[in-house]
């Protein structure tokens, strides 16, 4: 059994039940380990609590130096991180090399700089004879929970603003994908992070996750995952009245207006819907296409999807690897099968790709890039998050209808609008209810810009300076400059 917990600067074994790690693209057993139990949560939170007073007193420059050393350590391990990320998730090595790992390292460098820009408003006089100032302070021990789709990136998004601002953290990774988060913690320790500042637990949701959110010494819970579990996290945190930050599910629209460049929109739709096998909260899932372009758009997307090479993730020629598990693959297939039974047309895909299915001795988790048309607005496939390589396309006639369709979802994480008209672009940016609206693009994220949802996609921001709103609190300090014992305003209370 491998030691898969990182507590108080040490790689250690959990004390929970045994978990088996399976490579989704090969079906092979990658190892077994003991999950983190509630007792391990106690140990990790205690370590984070011990580390907090000294960590919060470090100067921003000292924290920034450690973050820069961490970035260098991760860069030196980039190849190892990408290979591990690909092996544990089934995603293509090329995506891990070009997206997950460099994006995470850039995040570390961004927060090294941002750590030194954390000031409140300038001091001034707002009360006669006194000076007020604002301090922006850390919260204490943060408990964060991450999903399996981008394990390293999600760990980075959670850990970096928290520790840059002077908090200490216990991060719970998905039990299916602990490897790269542990390597992040180990690299931080090697870079000189003091024990207890960054702890990583590999545990399940019901035992480890709930114990972390409910722990009395965890002052803030930051969660990325499904809307259902996010609401449970909020409920648990409400019992002790602590802060939450929720990054939840999505059902992103991709709106193709009548004046759009169809080729650009089709390419954007394929990249935007298939990135990470569609297991991306911002993935394009609903193409809303002007009727005059519908035929050209769907036939081009279908052709491009058929050209996508699905297979062995470790082959750099592979475009799309496996989904996270056979269970999740079956869930995705269920959505498509039910849509088909209700009368949807499968333009392409809709099944398990032949070559990939035959190459391994154990069951593997591949699913074909899929485009569906002929779906109704009340259908499950239009409303629910599938989290797989599945795009549905519907036609519209007027711009009003397009905007209404885009907003016809409880979610509001991301959206894109494809148009050559400035007016249409600005209208879409104004009226689409989502935390990100891309124009003539779909997916790009960067460390300087915030990521977070509207509506049922949650609240609070990851990345950028805005993330510090979640991980800091504002203190007003007033210093009176009056000479002598009497303060004029006190006469309102007593006149002696
Ligand atoms: P999930 O909600 O099932 O699990 C997310 C995390 O929560 C995991 O670590 C899991 O172990 C933990 N968890 C499960 N039950 C829990 C409980 N009762 N208490 C505490 N923790 C619990 O989600 P998933 O299947 O791992 O990830 C896919 C989901 O994540 C999708 O809905 C996707 O849209 C969302 N997501 C959102 C963003 C974003 O930035 N908004 C980013 C990535 C993924």
Ligand 1 centroid distance, CA of 226 (Å): 4
- At residue 243, the pLDDT reads 98
Mutate to test the pocket of ligand 1, among 147, 171, 247 (most ligand atoms within 8 A of CB): 147
Ligand 1 centroid distance, CA of 88 (Å): 17
Identify the residue whose C-alpha is closest to ligand 1 atom 39.
247
pTM of the model: 0.97
HSE-up (13 A, CA, CB side) for residue 366: 28
pLDDT class of 468 with cuts at 50, 70, 90: very high
Q: Which two tokens stand for residue 494?
A: 């007593």
Burial class, 78, CB count within 10 angstroms (exposed 0-12 / middle 13-18 / buried 19+): middle
Mutate to test the pocket of ligand 1, among 229, 230, 236, 280 (most ligand atoms within 8 A of CB): 229
Identify the residue whose C-alpha is closest to ligand 1 atom 34.
249
pLDDT at 361 over 80: no
Residue ranges and CATH numbers for the domains of the chain are 5-247+464-477 (3.40.605.10), 252-439 (3.40.309.10)
Measured in whole angstroms, how far is the alpha carbon of residue 368 from the centre of its chain? 24
Task: Locate the ligand 1 atom nearest the alpha carbon of residue 250 and give its number.
Answer: 34
Q: What is the mean pLDDT of residues 166-185?
A: 98
Mutate to test the pocket of ligand 1, among 104, 178, 207, 225 (most ligand atoms within 8 A of CB): 225
pLDDT at 277 over 60: yes
> What percent of the chain shows pLDDT beyond 70?
98
- At residue 386, the pLDDT reads 98
What are residue 202's DSSP bridge partners?
A: 173
Q: What is the dihedral of CA 163, 164, 165, 169, to 10 degrees?
A: -10
Identify the residue whose C-alpha is closest to ligand 1 atom 18.
206
Identify the residue whose C-alpha is closest to ligand 1 atom 36.
225
Q: What is the mean pLDDT of residues 134-159?
A: 98
pLDDT class of 363 with cuts at 50, 70, 90: confident
Q: What is the mean pLDDT of residues 6-30?
A: 97
Identify the residue whose C-alpha is closest to ligand 1 atom 26.
147
- At residue 20, the pLDDT reads 98
Identify the residue whose C-alpha is closest to ligand 1 atom 6.
147
Phi, psi of 456 (to 5 degrees): -75, 0
Q: What is the mean pLDDT of residues 401-416?
A: 98
The Cβ of residue 452 has, within 10 Å, a number of other Cβ atoms equal to: 24
- At residue 357, the pLDDT reads 53
Task: Locate the ligand 1 atom nearest the alpha carbon of residue 203 and give its number.
Answer: 11
Q: Which residues are catalytic?
A: 247
- At residue 84, the pLDDT reads 98
pLDDT at 354 over 80: no
Q: What is the mean pLDDT of residues 276-280?
A: 98
Measured from CB, residues less than 6 Å from any atom of ligand 1 are: 145-149, 172, 174, 204-206, 209-210, 213, 224-226, 229, 232-233, 247-250, 281, 385, 387, 413, 453, 457-458
Ligand 1 centroid distance, CA of 422 (Å): 37
Ligand 1 centroid distance, CA of 239 (Å): 21
Task: Locate the ligand 1 atom nearest the alpha carbon of residue 227 and give its number.
Answer: 32
Ligand 1 centroid distance, CA of 148 (Å): 8
pLDDT at 362 over 90: no
**Taking a C-beta distance cutoff of 8 angstroms, is the pair 416, 284 a contact?**
yes
Ligand 1 centroid distance, CA of 225 (Å): 2
- At residue 309, the pLDDT reads 97
d(CA 387, CA 159): 24
Q: What is the mean pLDDT of residues 112-127?
A: 91
Identify the residue whose C-alpha is closest to ligand 1 atom 12.
205
d(CA 371, CA 272): 13
Provide the mean pLDDT of the chain: 97
Task: Locate the ligand 1 atom nearest the alpha carbon of residue 281 and give its number.
Answer: 34
pLDDT class of 486 with cuts at 50, 70, 90: very high
pLDDT class of 389 with cuts at 50, 70, 90: very high
- At residue 355, the pLDDT reads 55
Mutate to test the pocket of ligand 1, among 180, 226, 409 (most ligand atoms within 8 A of CB): 226
pLDDT class of 136 with cuts at 50, 70, 90: very high
Ligand 1 centroid distance, CA of 237 (Å): 16
- Strand segments (E) across 303-453: 345-348, 370-373, 390-396, 411-412, 414-418, 436-439
Quick one: which of 38, 44, 42, 45 has its CA closest to 208?
38
Ligand 1 centroid distance, CA of 264 (Å): 32
**Taking a C-beta distance cutoff of 8 angstroms, is the pair 323, 148 a contact?**
no
Ligand 1 centroid distance, CA of 272 (Å): 21
- At residue 1, the pLDDT reads 83
**Taking a C-beta distance cutoff of 8 angstroms, is the pair 145, 213 a contact?**
yes
The Cβ of residue 15 has, within 10 Å, a number of other Cβ atoms equal to: 14
Q: Which two tokens stand for residue 343?
A: 């009368």
Task: Locate the ligand 1 atom nearest the alpha carbon of residue 172 and give its number.
Answer: 9
Identify the residue whose C-alpha is closest to ligand 1 atom 22.
205
- At residue 121, the pLDDT reads 80
């Amino acid at each position: 059994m491998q030691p898969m917990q990182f507590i108080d600067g040490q790689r250690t074994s959990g004390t929970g039940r045994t978990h088996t790690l399976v490579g989704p693209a090969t079906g092979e057993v990658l190892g077994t380990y003991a999950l983190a139990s509630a007792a391990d949560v106690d140990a990790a939170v205690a370590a984070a609590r011990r580390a907090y007073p000294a960590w919060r007193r470090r100067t921003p420059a000292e924290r920034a130096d450690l973050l820069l050393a961490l970035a260098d350590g991760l860069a030196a391990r980039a190849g190892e991180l990408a290979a591990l990320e690909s092996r544990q998730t089934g995603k293509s090595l090329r995506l891990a090399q070009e997206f997950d790992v460099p994006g995470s390292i850039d995040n570390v460098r961004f927060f090294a700089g941002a750590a030194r820009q954390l000031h409140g408003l300038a001091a001034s006089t707002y009360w006669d004879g006194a000076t007020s100032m604002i301090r922006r302070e850390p919260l204490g021990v943060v408990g964060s929970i991450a999903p399996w789709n981008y394990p390293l990136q999600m760990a980075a998004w959670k850990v970096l603003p928290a520790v840059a601002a002077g908090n200490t953290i216990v991060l719970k990774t998905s039990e299916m994908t602990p490897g790269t988060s542990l390597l992040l913690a180990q690299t931080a320790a090697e870079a000189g992070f003091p024990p207890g500042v960054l702890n990583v637990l590999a545990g399940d949701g019901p035992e480890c996750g709930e114990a972390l959110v409910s722990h009395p010494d965890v002052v803030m819970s930051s969660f990325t995952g499904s809307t259902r579990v996010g609401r449970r996290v909020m409920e648990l945190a409400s019992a002790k009245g602590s802060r939450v930050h929720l990054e939840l599910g999505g059902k992103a629209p991709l709106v193709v207006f009548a004046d759009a460049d169809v080729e650009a929109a089709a390419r954007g739709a394929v990249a935007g819907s298939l990135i990470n096998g569609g297991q991306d909260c911002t993935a394009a899932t609903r193409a809303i296409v002007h009727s005059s372009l519908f035929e050209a758009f769907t036939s081009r997307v279908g052709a491009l999807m058929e050209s996508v090479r699905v297979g062995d993730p470790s082959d750099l020629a592979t475009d799309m690897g496996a989904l996270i598990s056979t269970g999740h693959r079956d869930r995705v297939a269920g959505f498509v099968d039910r849509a088909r039974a209700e009368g949807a047309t499968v333009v392409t895909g809709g099944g398990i790709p032949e070559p990939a299915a035959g190459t391994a001795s154990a069951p593997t988790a591949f699913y074909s890039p899929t485009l569906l048309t002929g779906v109704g607005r009340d259908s499950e496939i239009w409303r629910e998050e599938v989290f797989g390589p599945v795009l549905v396309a519907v036609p519209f006639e007027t711009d009003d209808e397009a905007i209404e369709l885009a907003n016809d979802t409880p979610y509001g994480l991301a959206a894109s609008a494809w148009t050559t008209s400035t007016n249409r672009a600005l209208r879409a940016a104004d009226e689409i209810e989502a935390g990100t609206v891309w124009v003539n693009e779909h997916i790009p994220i960067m460390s300087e810009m915030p990521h977070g949802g509207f509506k049922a996609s949650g609240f609070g921001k990851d990345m950028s300076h805005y993330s510090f709103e979640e991980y800091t609190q504002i203190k007003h300090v007033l210093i009176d400059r009056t000479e002598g014992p009497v303060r004029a305003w006190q006469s309102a209370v007593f006149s002696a």
